[in-house]
Amino acid sequence: MQSAIARCDAINPRINAVIADLREHAKAGLKHARTGDAPFAGVPFLLKDLSMDLARYGTSQGNAALARRPVAQTDAVVRRWEQAGLLIFGKTNTPELGLKAITEPVAFGPTRNPWNLDHTPGGSSGGAAAAVAAGIVPAAAAGDGGGSIRIPAAYCGLFGLKPSRGRVSCAPQFDEQWEGAVSTHAISRTVRDSAALLDVIAGPEPGDPFIVQPPARPFSQELQAPTQRLRIALSTASPIGGAVDVAWSRAASDCGQLLQSLGHHVEWIDPVGDGMQLARDYLTMYFGQVAAQLTWWQQQGVPASAFETDTQALGLIGRGLAAGDYALARARWNSPMRALGQLFTRFDLYLTPTCAQPPARIGELAAPRWQRTALQLILRFGLGGVLRRSGLVEQLAFDNLHRTPFTQLANLTGTPPWACSSGRPGGVKTCCFNWPLNWSRNAPGGIGAHQSLPHEKRTPRRPFLPTERRQADASCRRGLISILPNRRKYT
């Protein structure tokens, strides 16, 4: 714990990953960790400061006003982490309400990518990824409602798994978040740690709307199981028709070639389903949920003016949605579910790039001054109709999706994808695998689709800040690729 705190004190001023100090809380937990036999007894850990309540402390959600409001109860997933012995000594930065794939909230300032301080670590779990990549902790809590675990993992050279819908409970705050699109887990340096952490938090709580069938054995034990020959579908084209950076496309195709050389069957396919319709339906849910969140906070005494201009504009779009249009968009989630289900009758895995573009520079995706001024005037005078007719906010949202068009499919279908990385610092390239929601040893055709990535037996590694020497290579184990970079430790 002292090493983690010392590392945080030394590095965090440069990357702004940790925004809340809970070391006194961790010290209190350390007394119990020394006498317990919990699986993670004494391991330092960081919460994402969004939808992960810890009693007596504020959950900022990237907003200064919310940070000043202590919560009354601890969320189930946080309770399980602490029962497993993890020592929570801080909270990590996130964009306001977790709404962006970058981490640059007005309230706390931008989080910077440890590989290159001029670039974003992604979002919305950008603070978590930066903290892990910088070696402050081996893993940190994260959540994913549209790629928010996988995008930061990709940009920071880490491993990120979004669990299946319902695998991790949202109790007691929610039955489901964002119509079931959001899942909670962690970002880690190794597959081993991700599996062990999922063992700790998986499982229902009283009152959950449904119960996902538990695995036949712990996820961590799956790492040691033999891997059978897999059928893998590969696609590198953007599902919404935008350009895909050649380095990111090549990472996925190179991964496919390596898997084929290891004995697996790899087949190129077109993107699954109607990507443009999926994007529209995702954004409909997104706008509507922002409106609902702002309304709820207003009912708690937090005015809309306490939120960023961008957030207020998104809420205004959401309030203009007809209930029937929202319900129809939600009903259309069935189409990508069925399309992906059909794909998994023929394949065991679906392989794509994680992102279409490399990490943006800090501030690159901020709205230009004239747009911010226009939005402020529209909000001040209540001209919601003008905003909706202009299409400005929708266009900005689509422009951002063009950078990360691959990730939303898994959120709408409830499937559990993971992102794993290879490449050089500052130019990390990743692949993203999806696999069936109800995966089992007896997949169609008799080919096992139940395997996790293999166990990484090596000392945990971490990247260097720009002034330090860096090196990376890729490794694979027992037939199923593990593209986790092997990097020399700090000296």
**Residues known to be catalytic:** 48, 124, 148
CA gap 37, 326 in Å, rounded: 48
Q: What is the 3-state secondary structure (H, E, C) of 132-198?
A: HHCCCCCEEEEEECCCCCHHHHHHHCCEEECCCCCCECCCCCCCCCHHHCCEEEEEECCHHHHHHHH
Q: What is the 3-state secondary structure (H, E, C) of the chain?
A: CHHHHHHHHHHHHHHCCEEEECHHHHHHHHHHHCCCCCCCCCCEEEEECCCCCCCCCECCCCCHHHHCCECCCCCHHHHHHHHCCCEEEEEECCCHHHCCCCCCCCCCCCCCECCECCECCCCCCHHHHHHHHCCCCCEEEEEECCCCCHHHHHHHCCEEECCCCCCECCCCCCCCCHHHCCEEEEEECCHHHHHHHHHHHEECCCCCCCCCCCCCCCHHHHCCCCCCCCEEEECCCCCCCCCCCHHHHHHHHHHHHHHHHCCCEEEECCCCCCHHHHHHHHHHHHHHHHHHHHHHHHHCCCCHHHCCHHHHHHHHHHHCCCHHHHHHHHHCCHHHHHHHHHHCCCCCEEEEECCCCCCCECCCCCCCHHHHHHHHHHHHCCCHHHHHHHCHHHHHHHHHHCCCCCCHHHHHHCCCCEEEEEEECCEEEEEEEECCCCCCCCCHHHCCCCCCCCCCCCCCCCCCCCCCCCCCCCEEECCEEECCCCCCCCC
**φ, ψ of residue 423 in degrees (nearest 5):** 125, -170
User: How far, in Å, are 109, 159, 307 from residue 64 at the CA level?
Assistant: 11, 30, 9
Q: In what order do the strands lie in the sheet with 44-48?
A: 18-21, 87-92, 44-48
Q: Residue 456: what residue type? A: E
The residues pairing with 390 across neighbouring beta strands, listed in sequence order, are none
